[in-house]
Amino acid sequence: MNDKRKPVCLVLGAGAGIGGNTAKRFAKGGYHAVLARRSDQEGLDRTVSEIEAEGGNATGVLIDAVEDGTIEELVKSIERDIGPIEVCLFNLGAQIGNRPFFDTPHKAFELGWRMTSFALFRLAQAMLPAMIERGHGALLVTSATSAMRGNAGQHSHAAAIGGRRMLCQTLNAEFAPQGIHISHIVVDGPVDAPDTLGRLLGDKFEAYKASKGEDGVLDPAALAETYWHLAHQHRSCWSFEVDVRPWTDTPWWNDNPPSAINSASRNRE
Ligand SMILES: NC(=O)c1ccc[n+]([C@@H]2O[C@H](COP(=O)([O-])OP(=O)(O)OC[C@H]3O[C@@H](n4cnc5c(N)ncnc54)[C@H](OP(=O)(O)O)[C@@H]3O)[C@@H](O)[C@H]2O)c1
């Protein structure tokens, strides 16, 4: 069937950071953006209004993606009432801040898995059949340093998103040959995201950003350009995994600041 409606970009986890900015970027590029977040109706309305003021199309939905049936119902209603989901950004994280192992309750550990791995599994089961039938579609998954490297205090978060990275690989292995581009984006640094990192840091957020210097914190509008590019790569050269970090940082596998490395090598000379 040839669906003449506008293509949809669904953003699951659309706060004022990466999610909202990606929705704006895709709306600017001609998609109908569907923004889904858990709780902040005012913030949701604000982003939808900003998109519409720029001449774009957007719909905002409040859902708790952890609840059984919510993602499934959302996907069904978009395909029926708005248009074909051509691109989906799965943007839910499960960062609860550093928590020592013995202060990590079973509930917190399980919730991390429900928000990240299991919610992505449910989304893929609900959304991929229509994409496969159309023969194309893109599923972008925002990830973080903890998917690549465990660290003290990150038990729930790292286990959940490390497992999700493997889920992305298995999805890619099964569905890339059916035309579905899966991409796992490792965000290896702090984001200027008031609804997530901002909430975690509270009144220290502005001072924290200032301490990182100019462009020392990822700008989510700039990152949205990477998401746009990934979703539109030619299928002869798809990226499965991309990592991004501010210019002032070193990659996740190396936590020595360059100055420490330089002085260490000077000491050896
Ligand atoms: N922020 C950082 O410094 C940072 C660093 C590395 C990686 N990341 C990754 O970036 C992604 C998040 O992007 P962002 O930090 O820029 O945040 P964002 O896009 O501004 O917001 C994400 C939104 O997800 C929504 N959400 C959380 N749980 C949900 C649920 N159960 N159901 C529906 N929506 C839910 C929240 O909505 P409500 O606010 O309405 O609850 C939140 O606003 C995550 O995958 C995270 O791992 C972030």
Main-chain phi, psi angles of 182, to 5 degrees: -105, 130
What is the pLDDT confidence band of residue 35, given thresholds at 50, 70 and 90? very high
What is the pLDDT confidence band of residue 96, given thresholds at 50, 70 and 90? confident
- The pLDDT assigned to 256 comes to 55
- What's the mean per-residue pLDDT of the chain? 94
What is the pLDDT confidence band of residue 97, given thresholds at 50, 70 and 90? confident
- Asked if residue 20 belongs to a domain, the reply is yes
- Asked if residue 54 belongs to a domain, the reply is yes
pLDDT for residue 265 is more than 80:
no
- Asked if residue 1 belongs to a domain, the reply is no
**Cα 92 to middle of ligand 1, angstroms:** 5
**What are the pLDDT digits (tens) for 215-264?**
999 999 999 999 999 999 999 999 999 999 999 998 887 755 555 544 44
- Asked if residue 124 belongs to a domain, the reply is yes
Domain with 206 in it? 8-268
- The pLDDT assigned to 95 comes to 87
**What are the pLDDT digits (tens) for 141-194?**
999 999 999 999 999 999 999 999 999 999 999 999 999 999 999 999 999 999
- Asked if residue 2 belongs to a domain, the reply is no
pLDDT for residue 137 is more than 80:
yes
- The pLDDT assigned to 3 comes to 80
Testing ligand 1's pocket by substitution, the residue of 10, 22, 37 carrying the most ligand atoms inside 8 A of its CB is: 37
**Cα 142 to middle of ligand 1, angstroms:** 9
- Asked if residue 221 belongs to a domain, the reply is yes
- Asked if residue 3 belongs to a domain, the reply is no
pLDDT for residue 266 is more than 80:
no
Domains identified in the chain, total number: 1
- The pLDDT assigned to 4 comes to 87
**Cα 220 to middle of ligand 1, angstroms:** 12
18: domain CATH number? 3.40.50.720
Cβ < 6 A, ligand 1 pocket: 13, 15-20, 37-40, 63-66, 91-93, 95, 115, 142, 144, 187, 190-191, 193, 195-197, 220
Residue 66: other Cβ atoms inside 10 A: 15
- Asked if residue 41 belongs to a domain, the reply is yes
**Cα 266 to middle of ligand 1, angstroms:** 42
**What are the pLDDT digits (tens) for 119-135?**
999 999 999 999 999 99
Which long-range contacts link 100-105 to residues 24+ away (Cβ below 8 Å)?
100/152, 100/153, 101/153, 101/155, 104/155, 104/156
**Cα 81 to middle of ligand 1, angstroms:** 26
